Chains A and B, each alone.
Chain A
């Protein structure tokens, strides 16, 4: 059972456009929602994260929008650049036996065309 559902699986955006990736979760115990970025041949790296008590967080061209009532959150990449081409994973985290347990979405392969 996939606790975090991510869409789309792949996305192609023109340079300068807006990339939008969506995620939905089921467990209301989740209390931290990070996005990880993964380049080919590399491990995932934290990009941006949000807690459920805020509806939006912005860091540069990257914004997370969070809808607690709908149990959905999304990543928006403004002015998308070829260097943003990567696989993006949303995740949800909750405290489990003293540590934060991450549950990941299926991933989205983003391609930015120059």
Chain B
């Protein structure tokens, strides 16, 4: 089954404790992206990656890091989480084929930083 998986699904942590949210896709997609979803703001892009070792900032990158060492994996790293990073996070992937613009989303990770 074609899918994007994220782990963990739920995470409660304290300010300053480093954490990583994993993302993996099995569709051989070149493009992967992280979004955060906040009430009244929709989904906002944090970082994206065009391919292995190619990453770039999205619209709200402050406080986040990413890496793309393998095509299927795109982890999101919060080096020193703060309460304003409490949010619902989604990983997504898509082909860069211009005939296919659909992005496939993972199930989400709900993060609470106290």
Interface residues of A (CB under 8 A from B): 4, 6, 9, 32, 34, 36, 41-46, 49, 89, 93, 95, 97-102, 104-107
Contacts and interface: CB of A to CB of B under 8 A. Distances in A.
Interface residues of B, number: 25
A43 B40 contact: no
A44 to B, nearest CB: 5
Contacts of A102: 43, 45, 103
Given A41-B107, A98-B96, 10 more contacts: A34-B102, A41-B108, A42-B108, A43-B107, A45-B105, A99-B94, A102-B45, A104-B35, A104-B42, A107-B40
A34 B101 contact: yes
Contacts of B103: 46, 102
B79 interface: no
Interface of B: 4, 30-31, 35, 40-45, 48, 50, 56, 90, 92, 94, 96, 98, 101-103, 105-108
A36 B40 CA distance: 16
Given A42-B107, A46-B102, A99 B40 contact: no
B101 A98 contact: no
Contacts of B106: 43
Interface of chain A: mostly helix, strand, loop or mixed? strand
A99 B43 contact: no
B42 A89 contact: yes
Given A93-B101, A106-B40, A101 B107 contact: no
A71 B108 CA distance: 31
A101 B45 contact: yes
A99 B48 contact: yes
Contact of B42 (A6, A43, A45, A101): A6
